[in-house]
Amino acid sequence: MTKRALIVATLFTAWSVQTSAFAQQPPRKPRIADTIKANVYADNSFKLYINGELIAVDSITFVPHNVVSVDVLPAYPMTIAVMGIDNADPKTGMEYANTNIGDGGLILKLGDGTVTNAKWKAKKFSWGPVGSDTKNPRVENIPLPQDWHAVDFDDSKWPNAKEFTQEEVGPKEPFFEHDFKGAKFIWSDDVKLDNLVLFRTVVRSPPDGKERPDFRGLTDVVPQGGGRRGGGNRQGNRN
């Protein structure tokens, strides 16, 4: 074998090894096209967890009522946990200088067709003014379970959410500018008195039937196509 032939053979072997190594690395880097949009509207605010991870916090805690729309990388089964918070004084359960009993409401839609409805679980953890007594208003609280948003949290004893009509909740303008088609407003039983409500559901597979890659554990492997493009360390290695 000539020297040139040896170099070519060596290079080919190196390329083959690299190529077969790539073939054993099925995960690729997720692209933005792999994400789905999460639209959430809460009266007054929310915290959204998906698969145990904090995904979005409402950017406005009181008014104006807003829609939070964020990109989500889905993985199924998908555990969704939401804290819904109706604005209320922590001592009286009322608002606007204790002149008003405000009402709550939560609606969510994901780009895979996941929607809020009465199949979701909902449990109140803070409510008031107890008995609608605005003369002597007081609040009752249940301590939040520390792992209420965890994938393996047991919500089997929680009641189901109650659906409320659009008229009952009366959403403000940004709601109508986003896709909530098919989703229902939900809360626990009393949309006026229940001021902190936790919601949970598990989406077993994409409701729209579209197959989506599972990118969980991506930080434990080198994704197909190598490390970050155009990056590299000081030695010039693209890791």
Chain residues binding Ca ion by CB under 5 A are: 43-44, 86-87, 102, 195
Select the residue whose beta carbon is closest to Ca ion and give its number. 102
- Cβ closer to Ca ion: 114 or 195? 195
Q: Distance between CA 37 and CA 206 in Å, rounded?
A: 13
For 2, left (φ over 0), alpha (ψ -120 to 50), or beta? Answer: beta
Could you give the count of Cα atoms lying within 13 Å of 179 in the half-sphere of its Cβ? 11
The least distance separating Ca ion from the CB of residue 192, rounded to whole angstroms, comes to 5
Q: From the CA atom positions of the chain, what is the Rg in Å? A: 25
Pick from 35, 59, 64, 65: nearest CA to 47: 59
Could you tell me if 166 and 182 are in contact, meaning their C-beta atoms sit under 8 angstroms apart?
no
State both tokens at 128.
Answer: 């008031």
- Cβ closer to Ca ion: 87 or 92? 87
- Cβ closer to Ca ion: 44 or 116? 44
- Cβ closer to Ca ion: 60 or 118? 60
3-class DSSP state for residue 217? coil
Q: Distance between CA 24 and CA 48 in Å, rounded?
A: 35
The least distance separating Ca ion from the CB of residue 24, rounded to whole angstroms, comes to 54
The least distance separating Ca ion from the CB of residue 58, rounded to whole angstroms, comes to 12
- Cβ closer to Ca ion: 43 or 58? 43
Could you tell me if 169 and 103 are in contact, meaning their C-beta atoms sit under 8 angstroms apart?
yes
- Cβ closer to Ca ion: 78 or 88? 88
The least distance separating Ca ion from the CB of residue 84, rounded to whole angstroms, comes to 10
Q: What are phi and psi of 160, to 5 degrees?
A: -80, 155
The least distance separating Ca ion from the CB of residue 103, rounded to whole angstroms, comes to 5
The least distance separating Ca ion from the CB of residue 208, rounded to whole angstroms, comes to 32
Instruction: State which H helix or E strand residue 201 sits in.
Output: strand 194-203
